[in-house]
Structure 1
């Protein structure tokens, strides 16, 4: 089965700051953190996220390699609704579409005319940003949460995970920026500009265009 690594990542204004903060968090927890403290941090983050019934935002994205060099950038729109619904439309430089309806996730690349299909729980293992759309404690069991300065780090407990951590920053209890760190040292940054949501239920469903190659990864 293919490993799922989706570009659902948001970040700080500086990749260097993000790398530094994450490195600090790793060094601070070289041993297993106190379970009570860890649970309290996770609860604090979940309390913040529980206030987000959903949101729509324009985004700008930067991809930074392990040497700190920018290797790609793009723009698009993101809409999240609870429970477990995501609509991620990257418009440039190459169009891609990621849609989750709570049970199924579709990843559509119109350039190569291919759609990959995953179970939602299967996608979650390598796409922790999907946690933003859920209040289900069971979905959090594969992650621990650390607090680094004014941000939270959602860290995968799976040593084989392609996405190692998702860092979230809030400003006045509003989600402002996130950043994902992958196993190769690459960072995907996205800055959000919130806007009024005009979503309809249909945007969380995907109708496969005629002639599209279907790569069904559901188990």
Structure 2
């Protein structure tokens, strides 16, 4: 009887991490379902196919779902990306250049659409739990669209809180983003998601 009780105890202990991993997909779905707005500081690194880090940047991410996103790099080189429904503005102050793209952030299989979209995640991505590392539970999201620029996107969660993303593109490059000081459902002003090109800036793509 004691051996049986010990067996049950060991089995329960061993199963608990598996249950946590299996719940990572549900935690991601809950995060997206319950999050109407989101703001966090970020650290972004980009590594090549050999794993050599080539770039590092810091800034602030702001999102209002669906379709509004602001990605503001503060250092080492300022850059601003503002997405509002079907337009995305990319402003490079050093070059005094603005690039306008017409893109729908509410659908599709881009990382931005994953965070700011309104379409059910499973429509555009195949999801699977991807284990635990760095103290986070990870979900792997593989784009279903063959024309996607990304091979896969890994999302790291602490409970139902977004903590990290790793974007693996089709050229072997990996962009890692770690979020800190995150705030779920803050009240964000509409002015964050509007953009007017500064006087004198070259505008490309209009």
TM-score (norm 1): 0.71
Runs of at least 5 residues in structure 2 that lack an aligned partner in the other structure: 1-23, 132-136
Q: Aligned Cα RMSD in Å?
A: 2.6
CA-CA distance at 1:88 after TM superposition: 0.5
| Pairing 1:138-177 to 2, within 5 Å after superposition | 141-149=123-131, 150-177=137-164
Largest Rg, 1 or 2: 2
Distance 1:113 1:136 in 2: 35
| Pairing 1:6-155 to 2, within 5 Å after superposition | 45-121=28-104, 125=108, 127-137=110-120, 141-149=123-131, 150-155=137-142
Distance 2:106 2:119 in 1: 15
Distance 1:93 1:142 in 2: 34
Runs of at least 5 residues in structure 1 that lack an aligned partner in the other structure: 1-40
Distance 2:96 2:70 in 1: 19
TM-score (norm 2): 0.75
Q: Give the alignment partner of residue 185 of structure 1, picking from 168, 172, 184.
A: 172
Q: Which has the higher contact order (CA 8 A, sep 6+)?
A: 1
CA-CA distance at 1:45 after TM superposition: 3.7
Contact 2:87 2:101 in 1 (8 A): yes
Distance 1:69 1:75 in 2: 18
CA-CA distance at 1:47 after TM superposition: 3.2
Deviations 1:55-109 (A, max 9, x none): 1111111111111111111111111111111110011121111111122111111
